[in-house]
Structure formats: structure tokens, C-alpha cells
A = this chain, B = another copy of it.
Amino acid sequence: MRYIDFVDLKYRPSVDDVICEFQIEEAAGISLKEAAGGIAAESSIGTWTQVTTEKSYVKELGAKVFEIDGKRVKIAYPIRLFELGNLPNLLSSVAGNVYGLKELKHLRLEDIQIPSSLAKSFRGPRFGIEGVRKLVKVYGRPLLGAIIKPKLGLKAADHANVAYESWVGGCDIVKDDENLSSQDFNRFETRVSETLEKRDKAQEEVGEKKVYLPNVSAETEDMLRRAEYVKDLGGESVMIDVITCGASALQSLRNRDLGLVIHAHRAGHGALTRVENHGIAMKVIARLVRMVGVDQLHIGTAVGKMSESQDEVLENIKVLKEPFHGLKPVMPVASGGLHPILVPDLIKIFDKDFIIQAGGGIHGHPDGTIAGATAMRQAIDATLHGISLIDYANDHVELKKAMSIWMTR
């Protein structure tokens, strides 16, 4: 079969097909149809030349280009092309060699539709939005999280103290930075043990449930050992860098099913998602990690230090929350360059079911971390009560000070 034979614009996908939507830029001298057919071929049963080894029973496994709309192309893949419950396999197929084909100049996987049988072969979120809310016993407002700063360098004891102050100031959650794992200045076990002690202290003093998210990102067996250590010490959540650890390890963490909330950081996604006409759209990553079963996922801020547009962020939120073969919705995380002044816009974009995470926007407060966390909570409270931050700041000094230093940003 030639590449062009994988184009069938009359084909109507079956409910069991995986459907991918690509944006294509074909190479010079190549027709869009041939380039699109190349993708379908390379991800199913074809290659660049006819082969003598093809059996008649193989043909029904061919993927089909069934829609071409400008540079947008839809391809249907028979479910039998994939191993159920194997995310690396799915990726190697629909997001693998195709990026290297010389018939293409650029290729972006814009969206993916997963049939029920494939979705159900993964675990999906164990907690999801409801489970996370039940754990922290907070309803009706966004959760507030602090990221310990400086990102790297704090000794475990100082790290634990910053966490303590974040909780006492009003944060529900404290998380490690995405590149803090177990460096010599701050060993994983010491940090987790000391920070969970401070969590208990903060919980007792404040009378609210507090959550710590230690970063377990590492080689898979180290990662699983670390997650079990967290569990043993009474932790309820862990964080994993899903892109840099990879699909196999993410599945391993979910499949071990330790009863821990899984918080997914997406460090490195921008290498894949940021160029408009190449790579993989963030919403595809969001859908796939929801399928595997994370409970919380970073999806951009629309405001703050990251680059995504509001439309992209809204699409990501939709993918995390919309019905998906009975899998629980995932809690979106807004993180990156956030501070109190951005809170009203964030709540407008994200609504209430999300986590507002701040690092610099809390620990950068002139009066320190406690005041910084308090200012963030005040900004949330003001917004939920329909009061402008400027008015609310009149009798909330922490918010007032925060606004004075970040007003110009």
C-alpha cells in the first residue's frame, strides 16, 4: 500500500476507533493527501514501500485519513492497533515516528479522542476533584497552594519551616518545586519527615486539614519507594513530573494504587506544546494523564509567568472536567508567577474548582510567608464575596502590602 492508499474520505469512524486530529505542514513537492496518508501508514500497517510479507488479514488494521480541512487532518485508528492499558504504546504509535517523516515539515497532534474500551483499560483518577475536596474538607472556594521558594537550596529544616508558615498563613497545600527531588542539601526522606511533622503542627494549631506534596520524581523504583515512604509517614499526596519521568513511570505510580493523591507537574511540556505548528497540544497531554489517573494537573495560568493564552487554558480545563467514559474529573492547577492581584482574573477563568498555587507571590510578600499566604486567602475571599481587591485591602493589611509591591507587574 502506498501512503495515498491510507486516505479514505468516505470512511465513517466506528465508536471503537481512536481519532487523532493533526495540523500538518507538508514538505515541498508533496501533496497534503500524501503527507496525511504517510501519518496513517506509519502509525498502522504501512511503510514507504510495498512489502511481500503483508498477509490478507492485516489490511483491516489500516488507519484511515477520513477528513481533510485545510491543514487539519483527522485520522481514525482501529482500536486493535493498540495494547490496552499501555500509554507508551499509544504514544509510539500516534505520536512517534510520524514527527520524523520527511514528507512533513511540521506536525502537531491537536486532539485525540479515546474510545471507551481503551479509556477503561487505564485506571483513571482515584480521587479527582471530589476526592481532593473531601480530603481537605474545603468546598465552595479554590484551594490555595504554596510552592516552597527558593526553588532549590533550602535545607530540609528551613524547607519545613517555610511550609509551616505557608499553612499557618492560610494555604491548604504546600508543594515542592518540580526540580527538587533528593539533592545533598535536602534529602528526600529528611525533608518529608520534617515537613510532615510541621504539617501536623499547623493542622493542630489552625484546626484545618493541610496537605504536603513531596516530589517523588526519580527512576521508577526509587519513585515508588519514595511514594511508599510518604504513605508510611502519614502523607496523603505525592507530586510527579509527568513529562520528565515519562508515561511508563506515571502508569506505575498510579497502578501501585497506594491511595495517595497524585499531583501532576508538567515541567518540560513547553518543549512539546509551545510551537504553534509542531509537537503535541497540552490538551492531548491533559486527556492522556487524566486517563492514566492523576488527580491534579498543571494547565497554565493565562495570567502570570507562563505563556499560554486564555483560550488554551480554557480548553485544558474543559478536557479535565468534561465527561470522559466515566473517569473522574481532574482538578486543574494554576501555577507560575501568581500573586494576589491576579486572583480575580484567575477565578473568572477557572471558576472555583481549581488550585491556585503561588511561590514568589507568597514568599515575596514584604512581611514574609505568613503574611503572603494570608494576602492570597484575602484575595480569594474578596473575589468570592464580589468585593474588589482595592476595597478589601482597606481593612486587610496583608493584601494591601502585597498589592503595593506587585501593582506594576
Chain A residues in contact with chain B, CB under 8 A? 42-55, 57-59, 61, 80-83, 85-89, 91-93, 95-102, 104, 106-107, 109, 148-155, 158, 162, 178-179, 181-185, 217-223, 241, 244-252, 255, 265, 267-272, 274-275, 278-280, 305-308, 336-337, 339, 359-361, 363-369, 372, 406, 409
Q: Determine which of B153, B272, B279 lies in contact with A57 in the assembled complex, contact meaning CB atoms within 8 Å.
A: B153
Q: How many monomers of this protein are in the complex? A: 2
Chain B residues, Cβ within 8 Å of A367: 52
Chain B residues, Cβ within 8 Å of A88: 181, 217-219, 241, 244-246, 249
A101 pairs with B305, CB closer than 8 A: yes
CB distance from A362 to the nearest CB of B (A): 9
A181 pairs with B336, CB closer than 8 A: no
CB distance from A191 to the nearest CB of B (A): 12
Q: Determine which of B100, B150, B251, B306 lies in contact with A51 in the assembled complex, contact meaning CB atoms within 8 Å.
A: B150
CB distance from A195 to the nearest CB of B (A): 14
Apart from A46-B151, A86-B182, A278-B278, what are 17 other A-B pairs with CB-CB below 8 Å? A47-B150, A49-B409, A58-B152, A81-B179, A81-B183, A82-B183, A88-B245, A89-B218, A91-B268, A92-B268, A97-B267, A99-B268, A100-B336, A101-B307, A217-B248, A271-B278, A272-B272
A151 pairs with B45, CB closer than 8 A: yes
- Whole-angstrom CA separation of A266 from B178 in the bound complex: 25
Known contacts A181-B86, A182-B86, A218-B88, A55 near B153 by CB under 8 Å: yes
A272 pairs with B275, CB closer than 8 A: no
Chain B residues, Cβ within 8 Å of A364: 47, 49-52
Chain B residues, Cβ within 8 Å of A99: 268-271, 274
B81 pairs with A178, CB closer than 8 A: no
Nearest-CB residue, chain B, relative to A96: B267
A255 pairs with B150, CB closer than 8 A: no
A47 pairs with B100, CB closer than 8 A: no
Chain B residues, Cβ within 8 Å of A218: 83, 86, 88-89, 248
Chain B residues, Cβ within 8 Å of A182: 83, 86
- Whole-angstrom CA separation of A102 from B154 in the bound complex: 26
A-B contact pairs, 5 of them (CB 8 A): A45-B150, A46-B150, A52-B367, A83-B181, A87-B244
